[in-house]
Structures are given as structure tokens and as C-alpha cells.
Structure 1
Amino acid sequence: MDIDGSTHVRGMRVVHHGRRGAPPLVLIHGSGAAGSSWGPVAPALARRHHVVRIDLPGHGQSPPAVSYDVPGQAAVVAAALDDLALGPVTAVGHSSGGYIATALAERRPDLVGALALISSGPSPDALLPQPALLRALIAPPLGPLLWRVRSDAMLRRGVTAVCRRPVSVPDDLVDDVRGIGYRTFRTVLRRNTEYIAERSVPARLGALGLPALVVFGTADPRWDPDAVRLYDTASSTLVERLDGVGHFPMLEAPEEAGELLLRFLAAADR
């Protein structure tokens, strides 16, 4: 039976696509985004999987949380998956969503059978100087002022600022991004940095030993694309590079990104 609908679980908006009973695939967005960022690749993935898109606390259509530390967010996701009776799942994370996916596997190894990380920086020293618009939106004293007057055009530019290929930003993503609070966003960024500063993502993947896919654009303006080589040291991890793609492969190269995910998922399901 096909499923296509949304609900709220543990306070988070959860959107389902695909066939009930198909292998479950959980898509976790990055900081300042929402589950709608997966829109361009979700239909292809849903042909073979039960796709679950989550709006993390304080993002999209999910209310704010008391804490935004990475393990705590992973715990909320785990509780939601338990309530939905889903597992083991393949957890796919974009950008800092990859940290949530990794922490989910660390916290609940029974719940995660495989991981896929897209544009997830390995450690703080791989972070590049950020695009000017993002710096202006994030940093005080200008940030809080600009945040309150963000137009649709500015929100779209905030997304395209980290892209290298021309993209069409989905309207629902613009709507979802508008609801993210300035303090929430700043706090989430700090907590993400704390997580990867405590231990790098490649080291965490190596300790987990799960089948893992890491996808990086060779023109990512947020993270040093050369730093993706650090993931080569993680056992059971496949690293794929997308030429000329920036930080948002799902928007910039949805067919290529979707095909990489489907090939990995087919191998992981064997």
C-alpha cells in the first residue's frame, strides 16, 4: 500500500512517502533547512523505499526544543522511530544532518543498519570561510536585524549561496526556512561544532563499522572538498564525489545524488 502523508511524532513533523513495508529510509536535513530540502530526490527513493522525512526540532514545521545538542536530537529521532515501529533503518543526513544520523547509530545501533552522509564536514578544521551573505545573517550585530526582515528572495539567496550549479529552490523549502529562529540557528551551529570537535566524523564511522556512504561535491563552498579524503580511513565507508557540485547535491544534482543513494541502498539491503 502506498503511503503519502504527514504527522507529528514526538513534536517533530514527519512526512512519509513510498510503500508501507518497504525498507525504511530516514532523511535528516541540515542546519537552517527542513525536510522539504529532500523534495527533489524523495520521489525516486520512494519507488523502492518507505521514505521518512523529518523536520528536526526548531526547523520547518517542528516546534523549538529545550536543547539542540546532537546526541539529544538523535534521541528524539530514535524515540519517534520507535513510536512509528520503524527499524532497522538506513539513516541519510545532509550536512549537519549527517551528525544526527551518526549520533543515532551511536546511540541506537539496533535501530540503524546503514548510514549515508551528504556534504557532512568531517571536523571543524575543514570548515571554509563562509559566503558573505551567510556571515551577515549569522553574526551579530547585523545578523539579528537581517533575520527579522528576511524576504523570500533573501531566503533563496541564502540557499543558493552554498550551491555551485544553478538551482530552483522549492517554494515549500522557502516557507519552512522562514520559521527558523535566529537564536535556534546559532545554537544549532554551536552544538554541531561541539559534536565534531569532540571526535571527528570519520573516527566515529570507523568505530561504528556500519556500511556507510559519504557524498561530497567537489565545489562545496562550506567544507574543504579535499577533506573528504579523511573519510577514506573509515572502514566500510564508500566515498563518492560529484564534480562541480556545491553543498546541496539534492538541489544541484538530484538525479546523480539519488542514483548514488539507490546504488548504495541496493548493496546495503543484500
Structure 2
Amino acid sequence: MVSHDFAHGMHVVREGPREAPPLVLIHGSGASGASWDLVAGALAACHHVIRVDLPGCGQSPPAPSYEVPAQAGRVAALLDDLGLRQVAVAGHSSGGYVATSLAEQRPGLVRSLALISTGPSPGALLPQPLVLRALLAPPLGPLLWARRSDAMIRKGIVATTARPVDIPAGMIADLGNITYRTFRKVLRGNAAYVAERSVPGRLAGLGHPVLVIFGAADPRWDPSSAHRYEAVPDTRVELLPGVGHLPILEAPETTGELLLRFTATAGNAPPVRPPA
């Protein structure tokens, strides 16, 4: 069963049995729920999957604020409206920041967290691929952005991978919808969130089970930085050989299997905060 809706300023796709354990999928900067297309089917066989297009991305309209806590607040309001509790949440790249902020704001709402290619701190960011720098840096960035074609969008995606990928058509179309101004605001909001406090530092005090998946050949974030999450209690780190920044496209079967195995066992009891 698949349904599409708009709620709290977001395009929402729901798949799988409604009585199954809920799993929320949150995309990365400028992307959309379509970025999960290659893994969503397998996940929906066991879960009530909820995919969102964050404001200004995909099919969602712009919003007054793109700060990470504001984005997480919208997701929390959506889950409240759906009457869902103890949800597993998975975020790709900066979607992991929104997932983490959701757990910070509403620890009782979240059952477990899976972070895929989520940079732990600003110092782990690598020099970005040339095509991405060209699209983002003024003064040429806005001009190139306005004239970008599907081929250029595809080239930008491929620049973050380490192996050939099957890029969903919906992902290409959705990436074409976001404006330069919105994308820059989203990036600033993400940078501010992780600069204020590292993701492992935020997770350490929450007590949720955490799965971290990183491509061992990620060209955006230093792959070795994934090990910083090992300081967080009840955290498992998986490095995928020969995979770049997009495990959900480059290794969808492996990524889906890891997520299903994790959600089947993690968070069987409500999260317990560690002693201060």
C-alpha cells in the first residue's frame, strides 16, 4: 500500500502495512524521499515506511526556516498526527542531523537511529568534488544552477559515488526543483547544527541504539571519521568497501539488509538515558 500526502509543509509517502513497525526515512541536503527508491521496497516489506521531502526539497514548498531543529520539529508533528510512537528513524547524510535532532527533541518518540554517510563534525569534511563547488560558489554558482540540466544533476550525483549507480528518475526530477537560494540556506542550517556540537556528542546522552553506515570510499566525508561514533554507547559502525557517499544507491541491497537487521533487534525497550 502506497499513499502520497502533504502535511506540515512536507510531501509525505507512506508504504507498507500500516500495522507494521514504523520506519522514517530522511533524505540529505537538497535531495528528496526519492533518494530512497532503491531500498524502500525491501524496507516496506517489514515496516510502515514514511518518507518525507523536507521543506524546499523535492515536491515540498519552501519554508521560513531551514534550521535542523525546525526540520525535526516538522517531522515530529507529522508523526504525532499519524499517531505513531517508538519509531525507527534513518537519515542519509545531513538527514542524519534531522534524525538526531528529532531524538534530542522527542527521545520517547524515537526507538532507534540509523545514520548513513552522516559526517560527525565539520573537521571530517573533505574538499568537495569540483562539479559541486562550481554549482555552489558565487558568482558563477547561481548562473550554473539556474541552467543546470538533468545531465549536470546526474554528474553532480555521480561525483559523490565510488561505483556505477542506478539513479532513480524521481531523484533527478526532484533535485531539479530546489532553488539555489534554498539549497544554500539548507547547507548553512546543517553546518550550524554540526558546528554547535558534534553528532556523536549529541547522541552520547540520548541512550538510543544507533547504526552508522559509511562508504569506505566516501569522497565527501573522511571515511575514518565514522569510527568517532564508536564512542557512543550501543552503536554499531559498518564500513562498506568500495562505496562512496551514497550507499542507498551504490549498495542498496546491503544497505537494506543492514537496516532490516538493525531495526529487527534495536530498541526492544524504551531508551534509557545513561547516568549523568
Q: Is the 8 A contact 1:33 1:60 kept in 2?
A: yes
Residue 202 of structure 2 corresponds to 204
Residues 167-188 of structure 1, C-alpha deviations (whole Å, 9 max, x = no match)? 0211111111100010111111
1:74 counterpart (62, 72, 75): 72
**How far, CA to CA, are the matches of 1:191 and 1:131 in structure 2?**
21
Residue 65 of structure 1 corresponds to 63
| Structure 2 residue ranges without an equivalent (≥5) | 269-276
What secondary structure is seen at the aligned counterpart in 1 of 2:16?
Answer: strand
Residue 25 of structure 2 corresponds to 27
Q: Is the 8 A contact 2:150 2:172 kept in 1?
A: yes
> Residue 82 of structure 1 aligns to which amino acid in structure 2?
D
Q: Is the 8 A contact 1:41 1:255 kept in 2?
A: yes
Residue 15 of structure 1 corresponds to 13
**How far, CA to CA, are the matches of 1:239 and 1:190 in structure 2?**
27
Residue 258 of structure 1 corresponds to 256
What secondary structure is seen at the aligned counterpart in 2 of 1:117?
Answer: strand
**How far, CA to CA, are the matches of 1:80 and 1:90 in structure 2?**
14
**How far, CA to CA, are the matches of 2:32 and 2:18 in structure 1?**
23
TM-score (norm 2): 0.96
TM-fit CA distance, 1:84: 1.3
> Residue 232 of structure 1 aligns to which amino acid in structure 2?
E
Residue 148 of structure 1 corresponds to 146
Q: Is the 8 A contact 1:9 1:83 kept in 2?
A: no
Counterpart check, 1:233 vs 2:215 = no
TM-fit CA distance, 1:12: 0.5
2:164 counterpart (148, 153, 166): 166
Residue 121 of structure 1 corresponds to 119
Residue 97 of structure 2 corresponds to 99
Q: Is the 8 A contact 1:137 1:143 kept in 2?
A: yes
**How far, CA to CA, are the matches of 2:98 and 2:235 in structure 1?**
17
Identity fraction in percent: 63
TM-score (norm 1): 0.98
TM-fit CA distance, 1:111: 1.0
Residues 26-65 of structure 1, C-alpha deviations (whole Å, 9 max, x = no match)? 0000001000000000000000000010000000000000
> Residue 16 of structure 2 aligns to which amino acid in structure 1?
G
Q: Is the 8 A contact 2:215 2:243 kept in 1?
A: yes
Q: Is the 8 A contact 2:111 2:267 kept in 1?
A: no
Residue 214 of structure 1 corresponds to 212
Counterpart check, 1:109 vs 2:107 = yes
Moved over 2 A (4+): none
Residues 94-118 of structure 1, C-alpha deviations (whole Å, 9 max, x = no match)? 0000000000000011211100000
TM-fit CA distance, 1:269: 5.5
Residues 214-248 of structure 1, C-alpha deviations (whole Å, 9 max, x = no match)? 00000000000011111111111111110110000
TM-fit CA distance, 1:158: 1.1
2:87 counterpart (86, 89, 92): 89
**How far, CA to CA, are the matches of 1:46 and 1:110 in structure 2?**
23
Number of residue pairs matched by the alignment? 268
| Structure 1 residue ranges without an equivalent (≥5) | none
What secondary structure is seen at the aligned counterpart in 2 of 1:223?
Answer: coil
